């Protein structure tokens, strides 16, 4: 199975900061990488698909980049509503797997 390693595990930030979350795959997955946000007691929400494709209804401050094994989710000027967990997921090969997540918290 493909292992996705997310870093850091926790990111403590102040509203207005710009941040980058990393997701590294154990083997090349081309651009078959998706990002989800999950707030406490809510279902995950798709933020970015296929590494960099934007999703309708998602604020433009969220962007994704990368291919192969290294991927980044960037949040330009974090807002208070952005705090929560962020997961990456690969759909390059079965079984589709998720990373362990990065917790974005208020400093």
Partner 1 sequence: EVQLQQSGPELEKPGASVKISCKASGYSFTGYNMNWVKQSNGKSLEWIGNIDPYYGGTSYNQKFKGKATLTVDKSSSTAYMQLKSLTSEDSAVYYCARSGRYDDYAMDYWGQGTSVTVSS
Does position 94 interact with partner 1 (CB under 8 A)? The reply is yes
Pairing of strands 102-106, 10-13: parallel
User: Smallest Cα–Cα separation from 29: which of 82, 93, 86?
Assistant: 93
CB of 49 to partner 1, least distance (A): 4
Tell me the backbone φ, ψ of residue 81, rounded to 5 degrees: -70, -10
Query: What would the x/- binding string for partner 1 be over residues 48 to 87, using CB under 8 A?
Result: -xx----x-------------------------------x
CB-nearer residue toward partner 1: 66 or 101 = 101
Question: Looking at beta carbons only, is 15 or 39 nearer to partner 1?
Answer: 39
How far apart, in Å, do the first and last CA atoms of the chain sit? 35
- Under rule CB under 8 A, residue 98 binds partner 1: yes
CB of 46 to partner 1, least distance (A): 5
Please say whether the beta carbons of 80 and 26 come within 8 A: no
Residue 18 backbone phi and psi in degrees, to 5:
-110, 135
Shortest separation between residue 16's beta carbon and partner 1, angstroms:
28
Structure tokens at 39: 């707030």
Residues in the site for partner 1, rule: CB under 8 A? 32, 34, 36, 43-46, 49-50, 55, 87, 89, 91, 94-101
């Amino acid at each position: 199975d493909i292992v996705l390693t997310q870093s850091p595990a926790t990111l403590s930030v102040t509203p207005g900061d710009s941040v980058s979350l990393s997701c590294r795959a154990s083997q090349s997955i081309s651009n078959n990488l998706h990002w989800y946000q999950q707030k406490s007691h809510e279902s995950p929400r798709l933020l970015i698909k296929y590494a960099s494709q934007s999703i309708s209804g998602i604020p433009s401050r969220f962007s994704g980049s990368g291919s192969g094994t290294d991927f980044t989710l960037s949040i330009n000027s974090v807002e208070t509503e952005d705090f929560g967990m962020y997961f990456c997921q690969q759909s390059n090969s079965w079984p589709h797997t998720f990373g362990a997540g990065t917790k974005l918290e208020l400093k």
